[in-house]
Structure formats: structure tokens, C-alpha cells
Amino acid sequence: MRARINRWTSARRNLIFSNKIRASLIQPHFLVAGENIDQPIAGMPGINRQSVDILEKTIDSDMKIGLSSHMLFLVMDEANKDSTASYASNPSSPLHKAVRSLKDKYGDEITIMTDLCLCTGTDHGHCGIVKGNRIDNDETVHELVKIGISHAKAGADYISASDMMDGRVEQLRKELEKEKHHSTGIMSYSVKYASSFYGPFREAAESSPKFGDRRSHQMDVRSGYSEAIMEAQTDESEGADIIMVKPGLPYLDVLREVADAVVRPVAVYNVSGEYSMVMASNPTVDQRRAMVCEILYAFKRAGADIIVTYHAREAITENWV
Ligand SMILES: [Zn+2]
């Protein structure tokens, strides 16, 4: 446990401790290989897959409006996928390049979260190393730690562990310490349900499993508060710096329970399916403002310190919050 991690930079302090909603928003981005790629994602109007050069321009304009917290997802070419997601720790991947160049340019003014899970890079699309037709937890953790360390070396502020394997926070924290990344944080998806609201994201990240589903590691949607609290407190005790609840809207009650049960800051992920539901009603700007504000207030009321949302850019640009 290193309490200073969340205080390390002005950008981290603003994200975590400000009482203004606009400061607590994180914008997700999808990164692809190549140049000059700015590809819309069906089902998520306004959200594109981008190559590093275009992402840099997008984040330049985000930084100018005061949107300084960014979560990066790597969308990998099929040719680079294999059974262990080995390319995910390659320092020349678009994600590593983007982190290095953004941290070079903005230093402590930007907060970058890098997504950590194997599903982005496995040829079968599962979140772990598959043995038979099951995911092997401990071998998966071994691979996750390798990838996480490579993100830390590139300069990520927080490793955003979305995999839901047991024990990965502890192993990652140990290795970060060993490699002297004392100021790199872990944002843990502690309470992540096997939700049906992830559909548009899986299309965006091309990360759908080729067989089976994710119910052997993500939480059962029927599960009650005690399991959520157990997961959150376990990650906290293993050294997570931020505890995440995902999805957001169907789990506001869980968010409240978790926020009351942990000491560390709590984030909520307003997921792709929730975003798509708002956008699919073709709201006018005024209607969108009203809907988005209502959603963000609900997250705050339920105890979220941090909100990951595809609405971040518009909410800040239009001064909705
Ligand atoms: Zn995954």
C-alpha cells in the first residue's frame, strides 16, 4: 500500500479529490495500429478507433478543454494475436507508443490509465490463458503482470486491471515494487459483473470470446452485496489504489455499498451499452444534457469519486458539469 500514489501529480489529485464532477471524468479511447485512422464505431456515435497520430490530436484538444484523464484500450490486429496475448507487452505496440508520447508531452498534467486484460490480445478472445476449455487463473496472472510492468515502463499513471482474476493486484503490486515503479498505481476492476451491457465495447475492441463466455471470472449478475464487498476489500488489501464497480447504472446500489465498505477512492464505469441506450434515442443536445447530468449526479450520489464515461468530452466541452 502506497498512500502517496493518488497524490503524486496535480492531475491525479484533481481527478480523485476534486468535488467538481467535471474533474472526476475519465474518457476512454480505442487505439489501433497504422496512421491517419479515425474509424467510427457503430452503436457508439462520437467514439472512434484511432491510430496513435490521430489519438494525439484528439487528446491535444481534450487537454485544452480541461479533460485530462484518459483510459487507453489497445485494439490488436488479428495477426498479432496468440494464445498468451504476447504482443500486449510489446513496447512498440500503439498503446505503449501513445503512453510514451503523451507522458513526454504532458507529464504530470495528464493522467493515463492503461487497460490490462488478455482478451485484447488472445486469438480465442478470452481474458486468460486457456487450459482445456477453462481459464487458468495463476498462469493468467503471470502474463498480466508482464503486461502491466510494460505499461508502467512506458509511463502509465495507473494500470487498469479489468481481468477479474484472483490475486492479480497483489502480484502486480509486488512486481511494480521490485521494478521500482513506486508511483505507478493500480485501478482495479474489483466488482465487475458478467453484464450484457458490454456489447458495443466488444465490437469496438474486437474482444468477443470465440467460444463460451466470461461467467467463470466476472461476477454473476444475480450476486448480492457481500460478494461485491469481499472482492473490493480483497483488492484494497492487496494494494489497489482505486476500486472500480462496472457496469454503472444497473449497479448503483452495489456502488453505494462498495463505497461505504472501502477506504480507497471508488470509480464507476458508465459502460458502452449504457452510452448506446442514451445515444440510440437520438436526443437533441438539450435532451442529452439533461440525461447525462442525471446519470452523472446518480453516480456521485451513489458514492463514485471517479466516473469513466464516453460522455466525458461532451459534458466538459458544453460545460454541463
Ligand atoms: Zn478481458
Q: Check the CA dihedral 282-29-128-163 and report its sign.
A: negative
CATH number, domain of 166, equals 3.20.20.70
Distance 38 CA to ligand 1 centre (A): 24
Looking at this protein, which amino acid is placed at residue 304? A
Q: What is the structure's pLDDT at 271?
A: 97
Q: How far does Cα 234 stand from its chain's mean position? A: 19
Distance 75 CA to ligand 1 centre (A): 12
The active-site residue out of 146, 174, 192, 210 is 192
**pTM score, two decimals?**
0.97
Number of structural domains (the chain) is 1
Mean pLDDT, the chain cut into blocks of 10 residues (321 residues total): 94 96 98 97 93 98 98 96 97 98 98 97 94 93 98 98 97 98 98 93 84 91 97 98 98 98 98 95 96 98 98 97 95
* Residue 192 annotated as catalytic: yes
Phi and psi at 318, nearest 5°, equal -90, 5
Return the C-alpha cell found at 224. 448480492
Beta-sheet strands, E only, within the chain: 25-32, 38-40, 48-51, 69-74, 111-116, 129-131, 134-136, 158-161, 185-192, 242-246, 266-270, 306-309
Nearest CA among 209, 205, 201 for reference residue 50: 205
Distance 127 CA to ligand 1 centre (A): 4
Asked whether 270 and 308 are in contact (CB, 8 A), the reply is: yes
The active-site residue out of 64, 174, 210, 246 is 246
* Residue 131 annotated as catalytic: no
Looking at this protein, which amino acid is placed at residue 120? T
Q: What is the structure's pLDDT at 106?
A: 98
Three-class DSSP category at 206: coil
* 12: CB partners within 8 A, 6+ apart: 5, 6, 111, 157, 185
Most distant CA pair in the chain: distance in Å?
52
Q: Which domain holds residue 219?
A: 3-317
Nearest CA among 281, 303, 114 for reference residue 292: 281
Distance 135 CA to ligand 1 centre (A): 11
Q: What is the structure's pLDDT at 149?
A: 98
What are the residue ranges of helices labelled H in 119-167?
137-154
Q: What is the structure's pLDDT at 203?
A: 82
